């Protein structure tokens, strides 16, 4: 582990999300004095001039270059057309369903489902990191006759008062406010990665505690703060679906689905330390009777001490089985910020490729620190399950450079000369050993390549088969070729046990976002369902909803939207009364 002593480094507390007002327009002092940001610059390289970090140019809100109600679609000159493309919001559209959709054998469940997507939908001028795009929520709902699409921006201070913002994001900023007359404010909150339904609360998530809450019906922004003694949180909490009960009847399993337990893993220093060896797993508990806005509380279940301190410890995507919560203990390592051409948090740090994990036994709250024979960044875990050998965990692995790909300049370079292996490693399958009988977790996690030479990401699966050791499939988006594909341009169905490619779908000029699995029913076959994806046709300069038969990946139907929906990470599916977070 490198120590950050000689570099200007960011501390976990830098991720404090709540904007503050300043009395004076002394940006440096303002950032330095804010609780949390004090720690942010705790180890300063004396040669570094802080003022150089602030954007030299003023940034105004970008005028929207999007087509409106469907008729006149203008092709954007932006990279691939659907990156860095601001949407015109709010937006409300309806589309009559076609015969092909209505006569689909699984139509009954499809026609009662809703898909939500969390989209980087607004790119003010000066924002050159894709996943800093301001969070916007799309809802696609199906009834017996129509599909409707609603999109609204999440009303953060960056969205509402960009002109007075000092925006500090993953790869953007700190920016200089364009409006000199306005009171400047630090704008940090932008929950743009994933979504989490919990009780009757709907949260927008990100890997810091700066989550946001919306009304799932109106998509309006609501008050809501997550109460956790950490600046870091998981964009993908590990939620128990309660569906996997081998002995339970479908009715029992179904009625259980609401009793969902969601866990998060986070650094839990005793003092507000930058560098900590304390790691925790806690449960997310919605609070209703609270006089303040702390509506989601993280209750500590388990704590471990690592043999060495970690810097900005993070776990993007922990997973869950009936008896365990499994987290990869990733971290950020300091890099030399001088002249590296980056901005935002990534100017100072990148993800470390490390091999520590934390495994909590849900029956006892006891945690184990274990080590894999592979060191990597865990992009996503998906459907973990327990077997005779232990806990089987599959991972989309990434490199230290992975997050850098979303800088505009790197995406431009990538679109000319794709280099997938710079950002991804081979997907792997690891087994965390568990001693039968005692349930003791062993230290040595063994990993092997899951799918030779196949790169994919945004894995998804039938949510009724979560944690089920008999699950056979998962789905993902992938490049057709790591030599020539400039983005995710194919949908794949993969055998979960062998890693073999079973089916695929691709069409010239079409790029894809994550597919969401809409299951036909609790009792139906695992691959009986619809995959919902938002595609982008670069030849048309426009996006469409794509519905696939999940068993064959045959395209059931498509709905041109007449506008550009920017690329985005994640969404969730609601069928009847149940909403399934990802994964």
Ligand X SMILES: *[C@@H]1O[C@H](CO)[C@@H](O)[C@H](O)[C@H]1NC(C)=O
50-58, 59-67, 137-145, 175-183 -> range binding ligand X (CB under 6 A): 137-145
CA distance 261 to 10: 32
Site string for ligand X, 51-90 (x = CB under 6 A): ----------------------------------------
**Minimal distance, residue 177 CB to ligand X, in Å:** 40
Q: Count of residues binding ligand X (CB under 6 A)?
A: 14
539 is an interface residue for ligand X by CB under 6 A? no
Please list the residues that pair with 275 across neighbouring strands. 311
| Both tokens assigned to 318 | 């922990």
Tell the smallest beta-carbon distance from residue 487 to ligand X (Å): 32
CA pair distance 64, 122, nearest whole angstrom: 9
Q: Which of 112, 485, 540, 551 binds ligand X (CB under 6 A)?
A: 112
Interaction between residue 576 and ligand X (CB under 6 A): yes
366 binds ligand X (CB under 6 A): no
* CB 145 to ligand X: min, Å: 5
Check binding of 143 to ligand X (CB under 6 A).
yes
Of 35 and 576, which has the nearer Cβ to ligand X?
576
Minimum CB separation from ligand X for residue 93, in Å? 9
Distances (CA, A) of 108 to 142, 417, 520: 10, 45, 8
Kindly tell me which of 168 and 368 has the beta carbon lying closer to ligand X: 368
Q: Can you say whether the dihedral through the CA atoms of 421, 422, 423, 427 is positive or negative?
A: positive
Query: Quick check: 165 and 154 in contact, CB under 8 A?
Result: no
- Nearest residue (CB) to ligand X, 322 versus 469: 322
Choices 25-33, 144-152, 195-203, 423-431 (CB under 6 A): range interacting with ligand X: 144-152
Q: How far is the CB of 109 from ligand X (least distance, A)?
A: 7
Among 365, 409, 440, 498, binds ligand X (CB under 6 A): 365
Does position 146 interact with ligand X (CB under 6 A)? The reply is: yes
Q: Which residues pair with 266 in a beta bridge?
A: 280
Which of these, 572, 581, 571, 551, lies nearest to 104 by C-alpha position? 551
Residue 105 burial (10 A CB sphere; 0-12, 13-18, 19+):
exposed
Which one of the spans 40-48, 59-67, 145-153, 483-491 is the region binding ligand X (CB under 6 A)? 145-153
Kindly indicate which of the ranges 3-11, 142-150, 445-453, 456-464 contains the residues binding ligand X, using the contact rule CB under 6 A: 142-150
Structure tokens at 29: 């002092």
Q: CB of 460 within 8 A of CB of 515?
A: yes
Return the residue of 68, 74, 92, 94 that touches ligand X, per CB under 6 A.
Answer: 94
Pick between residue 220 and residue 576 the one whose CB is nearest to ligand X.
576
Rounded-to-integer distance, Cα 166 and Cα 186, Å:
5
N-to-C CA span, the chain = 31
| By the rule CB under 6 A, 301 interacts with ligand X | yes
For residue 132, give the 3-state DSSP assignment.
Answer: helix
Work out whether 145 is an interface residue with ligand X (CB under 6 A).
Answer: yes
**Which residue, 284 or 345, is less far from ligand X as judged by CB?**
284
Per-residue interface string for the shown chain with ligand X, residues 323-362, x marking contact by CB under 6 A: ----------------------------------------
For the record, the structure tokens of 382 come out as: 């998906």
DSSP class per residue in 238-302? EE--S---TTS-HHHHHHHTTS--EEEEEE--SSS-SEEEEEEEEEEEE--S-SSSEEEEEEEEE
The verdict on 523 binding ligand X (CB under 6 A) reads: no
| Residue 364 near ligand X by CB under 6 A | yes
Does position 108 interact with ligand X (CB under 6 A)? The reply is: yes
Q: Please give, one letter per residue, the 3-state secondary structure of 464-517.
A: HHCCCCCCCEEEEEECCCCCCCCCCCEEEEEECCCCCEEEEECCCCEEECCCEE
Spatial separation of the C-alpha atoms in residues 333 and 361, rounded to whole Å:
29
The only residue of 252, 299, 413, 509 in contact with ligand X, by rule CB under 6 A: 299
Shortest Å distance, C-beta 343 to ligand X = 40
Which CB, 60 or 363, lies closer to ligand X? 363
Is the Cβ–Cβ distance between 308 and 346 less than 8 Å?
no
Q: 37, 57 in Cβ contact below 8 A?
A: no
Q: How far apart are CA 581 and CA 77, in angstroms?
A: 34
| CA 581/CA 242 separation, integer angstroms | 13
CB neighbours of residue 291 within 10 Å: 5
The torsion angles phi and psi of 369, rounded to 5 degrees, stand at: -95, 125
Region binding ligand X by CB under 6 A among candidate stretches 49-57, 107-115, 327-335, 429-437: 107-115
| Min dist. Cβ of residue 96 to ligand X (A) | 8
Kindly list the residues in this chain that would bind ligand X in the complex (CB under 6 A): 94, 108, 111-112, 143-146, 148, 299, 301, 364-365, 576
């Amino acid at each position: 582990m490198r120590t950050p002593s000689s570099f200007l480094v960011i501390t976990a507390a830098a991720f404090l999300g709540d904007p503050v007002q300043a009395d004076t327009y002394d940006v440096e002092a303002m950032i330095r004095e804010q609780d949390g940001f004090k720690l942010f610059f705790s180890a300063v390289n004396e040669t570094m001039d802080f003022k150089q970090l602030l954007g030299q140019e003023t940034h105004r809100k970008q005028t929207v270059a999007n087509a409106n109600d469907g008729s006149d679609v203008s092709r954007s000159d932006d990279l691939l057309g659907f990156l860095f493309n601001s949407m015109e919001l709010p937006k409300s559209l309806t589309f009559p369903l076609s015969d092909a959709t209505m006569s689909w054998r699984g139509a009954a469940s499809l026609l009662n489902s809703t898909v939500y997507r969390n989209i980087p939908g607004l790119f003010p001028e000066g924002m050159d990191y894709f996943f800093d795009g301001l969070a916007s929520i799309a809802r696609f709902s199906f009834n017996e006759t129509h599909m409707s699409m609603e999109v609204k921006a999440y009303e953060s201070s960056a969205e509402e008062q960009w002109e007075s913002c000092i925006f500090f994001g993953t790869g953007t900023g700190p920016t200089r406010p364009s409006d000199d007359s306005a009171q400047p404010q630090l704008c940090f909150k932008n929950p743009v990665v994933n979504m989490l339904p919990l009780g009757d609360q709907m949260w927008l998530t990100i890997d810091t505690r700066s989550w946001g809450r919306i009304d799932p019906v109106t998509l309006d922004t609501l008050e809501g703060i997550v109460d956790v003694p950490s600046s870091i949180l998981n964009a993908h909490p590990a939620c128990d679906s309660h569906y996997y009960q081998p002995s339970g009847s479908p009715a029992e399993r179904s009625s259980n689905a609401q009793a969902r337990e969601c866990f998060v893993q986070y650094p839990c220093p005793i003092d507000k330390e930058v560098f900590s060896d304390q790691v925790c797993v806690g449960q997310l508990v919605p609070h209703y009777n609270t006089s303040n806005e702390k509506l989601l509380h993280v209750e500590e279940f388990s704590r471990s001490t690592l043999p060495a301190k970690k810097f900005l410890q993070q776990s993007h995507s922990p997973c869950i089985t009936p008896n365990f919560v499994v987290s990869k203990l990733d971290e950020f390592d300091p890099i030399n910020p001088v002249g590296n051409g980056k901005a935002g948090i990534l100017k100072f740090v990148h993800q470390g490729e490390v091999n520590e994990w934390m495994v909590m036994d849900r029956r006892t709250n006891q945690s184990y620190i274990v080590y894999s024979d592979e060191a990597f960044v865990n992009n996503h875990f998906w459907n973990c399950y327990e077997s005779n050998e232990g806990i089987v965990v599959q991972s989309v692995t990434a490199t230290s450079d992975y997050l850098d790909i979303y800088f505009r300049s790197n995406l431009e370079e990538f679109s000319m000369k794709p280099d997938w292996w710079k950002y991804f490693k081979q997907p792997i399958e690891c087994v965390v050993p568990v001693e039968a009988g005692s349930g003791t977790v062993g230290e040595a996690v063994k990993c092997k390549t899951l799918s030779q030479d196949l790169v994919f990401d945004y894995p998804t699966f039938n949510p009724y088969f979560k944690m089920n050791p008999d699950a056979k499939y998962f789905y993902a988006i992938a490049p057709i070729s790591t030599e020539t594909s400039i983005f995710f341009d194919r949908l794949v169905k993969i055998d979960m046990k062998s890693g073999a490619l079973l089916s695929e779908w691709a069409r010239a000029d079409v790029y894809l976002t994550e597919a969401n699995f809409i299951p036909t029913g609790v009792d139906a076959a695992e691959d009986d369902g619809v995959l919902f994806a938002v595609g982008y046709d670069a030849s048309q300069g426009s996006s469409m909803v794509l519905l696939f038969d999940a068993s064959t990946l045959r395209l059931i139907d498509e709905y041109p939207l007449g506008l550009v929906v920017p690329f985005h990470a994640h969404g969730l599916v609601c069928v009847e009364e149940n909403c399934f977070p990802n994964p």
